[in-house]
Amino acid sequence: MSADIAHELHGDREKKRAATAATSARVRIVLALGPATAAAGVVWAFVQPWRLTLLDPHGQGFWWLLAEPPLYIVLVGVLFRVLIARALVQDMEDAGR
C-alpha cells in the first residue's frame, strides 16, 4: 500500500468522524427538545401554581379544569418526543448517508 492511499484513507476516516459528531450533536438536540419542553411546563406549573385550577377546583367546570396551560406544555413535550422526534432523527440520518 502506498503512502498516498494510506493518507487518503486516514483523511476519509477523520471526515466521517467529524460528520458523525456533528450529526450526533444535532440528533441529541432534537431528542432533547421534547423533554426540555415538558420540563419547562413543570417549572411553569411550580412558578405560577394559581394557573392550575386542579389545585383549587371549587366552583370550576370540567372544561375550565381541563384547560391547564402548563399541562398542555408538558403534553406537547411528551408527544413531540414520542411521535415526532424519532421520525426527524431518522430523516436526519437518512439525509446524512
pTM, entire model: 0.66
Residue 62 has pLDDT above 60, yes or no: yes
Q: What was the pLDDT predicted at 43?
A: 93
For the record, the C-alpha cell of 84 comes out as 415526532
In contact, 73 and 42? CB cutoff 8 Å: no
**How does residue 10 score in pLDDT terms, banded at 50, 70 and 90?**
low
Q: What was the pLDDT predicted at 17?
A: 57
Share of the chain above pLDDT 90, in %: 33
Task: Summarize the confidence of residues 78-92 as an average pLDDT.
Answer: 92
Please indicate whether residue 39 or residue 60 has the higher confidence score (pLDDT). 39
